[in-house]
Amino acid sequence: MTAAAEPAEQLWSRCAGCASLLYRKRLRRNLDVCPECGEHTRLGAPERLRQLVDPGSLRLLPDRLPEADPIDFVDVLPYRHRLSAARISTGLAEAVLCATATIGGQPAALAVMDFRFLGGSLGCAVGELITRTAERALDDRVPLILVTASGGARMQEGALSLMQMATVSQAIAALREVGLLTVSVLTDPTYGGVAASFATNTDLVLAESGARMGFAGPRVIRQVIGRALPEGFQTADFLLRHGQVDMVVQRRSLRGRLAALLAAARAGRPARPPVPRQEPAPHHERLAGAVPPAVADGHRAVGERPADDPTPAVRDAWDTVRTARHPGRPTTLDYLDSVFDGFVELHGDRLGGDCPAIVGGVARLAGRHVMVIGHQKGHTTADLVARNFGMASPAGHRKALRLMRLAARLGLPVVTLVDTPGADPGISAEEHGQAAAIAENILTLTVLPTPVLAVITGEGGSGGALALAVADRVLMLQHAVYSVISPEGCAAILWPDRSAAPQAARALRLTAPDLCRLGVVDEIVPEPATAAHDDPAETARRLRAALLANLLPLLDVPPAMLVRLRRQRFRRFGATRAGVRAVAR
């Protein structure tokens, strides 16, 4: 982190805001804010930490983790090469730097993301490091501050990067439970899976001047709506106007504001001694004997399908994507008719909307009352349009949240049916806080005191899917897919063009057998030959059997134990977990 002598051409830099030629030392003295126009230039994590904390108080936390390339990802370059290049160019081990320090004399734990490192993307190591920082905050009984700068989840780590949204969120939930303040500071840019989890499900959200934050990036939204975006869209002032952040703060005021907030949070709670730090015993030891075998057992390997299953040979990942999107594939409403009885639909988020892309309500499964929530697509173009192609709005996520909480109060298990290309990437969705809506669902599911069973029935599209899929057991229909990004989206970013979608589909490891091996999915529900759309009745029969086999053991587990086991399930996706290495080669 020590600066070497700078070459002459780096003595000056040109402001991106006003094009003034600025003397670098003068710019740095001004906290990298242009003295001419006020443009806030992006900061690396080391410089950000230096600016935020009291001099002499910084203690960096360990940042070295075993090399992680959990799905052996290769696009035009192997992921390992991209990682090495990022390490060399930034001098950092990963896209986050974590520390303890004081700010205005107030102790805190901090995790600061660095956009220069692979776009600040959230992979297993980043998730693990932020989670450990949150756990350190819990042990030390100090507030947690997260400074975000990220393009989203790291697609080179597939669905495992998506899981990090849940892992970090549940660590934040643990701080909420004991009344420790969590603060996120949005810096430019903060998007995707980071925006839709720990950047927005903290107690307080501050936006630095010049920051932009959103669930969908401007390029994606422009593509979808086919026109230019309004002036100032997704900027800090936009976020403030739409109620999504507590304040917009100039860089020079950030430290003072944080100090004041930390002081208020400290004044409001009696001093409690920190918990002595020690490595926790593995959960399986602590919970031994208390867990029903079917719950503790983990996932069923893909080879262990029922003997009568006439499953054809493994098909290509791109073929599977096409099957998962087949217009004849049964929808959530089809399953509510065929698998469940007595469905009573419940509408509305109680905040001003009812999203047609999410359906939910009470139903019976083999005589047992359950709350069912799922994405709804359709079989005809008219259906699809009416249901927004199964892409939920913030109102849809908030309706789902309301029904989850209602189920917990009533003691009903929750069954979710996931089939979405992704959350709605529109202007209105961003105005209404799409990222925060998804983030709150993810966090709430990590602590929901009732059984939760999720089934990926068709397309499990990124954060929109995870918003319904943080569950005790995650099942997946044989020809469904579950991915951090669509193959087309991944191809557009990492390959020369979108026509590489079939290669991207293979590289992303988005099929049920892949995800079962990675532990993201616990069990595969076999489909009849050739696929669900050929025999919906048989598909429904198999789904019903799988739901019952997985739900019944959960009903006997006390709610507190369920929550502990669910947290354990999502905690194991960190970069150092042995399971992460056990991938198809």
Nearer to Zn ion, 27 or 557 (CB): 27
d(CA 89, CA 43): 15
**Cβ 162 vs Cβ 466: under 8 Å:** yes
Classify strands 182-191 and 144-150 as parallel, antiparallel or unpaired. parallel
Return the residue matching tokens 């191809």: 491
Cite the beta strand spans of 4-157 per DSSP E: 12-14, 21-23, 59-60, 96-103, 106-113, 144-150
Closer of 37 and 260 to Zn ion (Cβ):
37
Please, which residue, 17 or 361, has the CB nearer to Zn ion?
17
| Closer residue to Zn ion in complex, CB, 18/386 | 18
Q: Which residue has the tokens 């020590």?
A: 2
- What are phi and psi for residue 420, nearest 5 degrees? -145, 140
122 DSSP β-pair partners? 153
Burial degree of 248 (CB within 10 A; 0-12, 13-18, 19+) = buried
Supply the minimum distance, in Å, between the C-beta of residue 481 and Zn ion.
46
Minimum separation from the CB atom of position 15 to Zn ion (A): 3
State the nearest-atom distance from the C-beta of 134 to Zn ion, in Å: 36
- Nearer Cβ to Zn ion (37/288): 37
Query: Minimum distance from CB of 40 to Zn ion (Å)?
Result: 10
With respect to Zn ion, which residue has the nearer C-beta, 30 or 576? 30
Q: Are 173 and 440 in contact (CB under 8 A)?
A: no
Q: Which residues face 209 on adjacent strands?
A: none
Q: How far is the CB of 151 from Zn ion (least distance, A)?
A: 24
Closer residue to Zn ion in complex, CB, 27/359: 27
Sequence-ordered strand ranges (E) for 117-178: 144-150
- Residues 286, 292: Cα–Cα separation, whole Å: 14
Q: How far is the CB of 209 from Zn ion (least distance, A)?
A: 13
Pick between residue 37 and residue 314 the one whose CB is nearest to Zn ion: 37
Please state, in angstroms and rounded to a whole number, the distance separating the CA atoms of residues 523 and 301.
Answer: 7
DSSP 166-185: HHHHHHHHHHHHTT--EEEE
Residue from 499, 420, 373, 442 nearest 170 by CA: 442
Find out whether 555 and 505 touch, Cβ atoms under 8 Å. no
Closer CB to Zn ion, 34 or 504, in the complex: 34
| Nearer to Zn ion (CB atom), residue 40 or residue 571 | 40
For the CB of residue 25, give the shortest distance to Zn ion in the complex, in Å: 16
Nearer of residues 209 and 446 to Zn ion, judged by Cβ: 209
Report residue 330 as tokens.
Answer: 């049964």
Query: CB 236 → Zn ion: shortest distance, Å?
Result: 17
- Least CB distance to Zn ion at residue 51 (A): 19
Instruction: Please name the amino acid found at residue 506.
Output: R
Nearer to Zn ion, 36 or 297 (CB): 36
Alpha carbon distance 256, 247 (integer Å): 13
Give residue 13's Cα distance to chain centre. 36
Q: How far is the CB of 35 from Zn ion (least distance, A)?
A: 8
Distance CA 154, CA 418 (A): 22
Cβ-based neighbours of 167, under 8 Å, separated by 6 or more:
127, 128, 131, 570, 571, 573, 574
Angle at 499 (CA atoms; ends 496, 502), nearest 5 degrees: 110
Angle made by CA atoms 106, 111, 117, in degrees to the nearest 5: 150
Q: How far is the CB of 21 from Zn ion (least distance, A)?
A: 10
Applying CB under 5 A, the residues found at the interface with Zn ion are 15, 17-18, 20, 34, 36-37, 39
Nearest residue to 252 via CA among 19, 20, 13, 29: 29
Which residue number, 19 or 385, has a Cβ lying nearer to Zn ion? 19
Least distance to Zn ion from the beta carbon of 26, Å?
12
Residues 6+ apart with CB under 8 A from 68: 123, 124, 125, 157, 575, 580
CB of residue 214 to Zn ion, shortest distance in Å = 24
* Helical ranges in 13-123 per DSSP H: 24-29, 45-52, 79-90
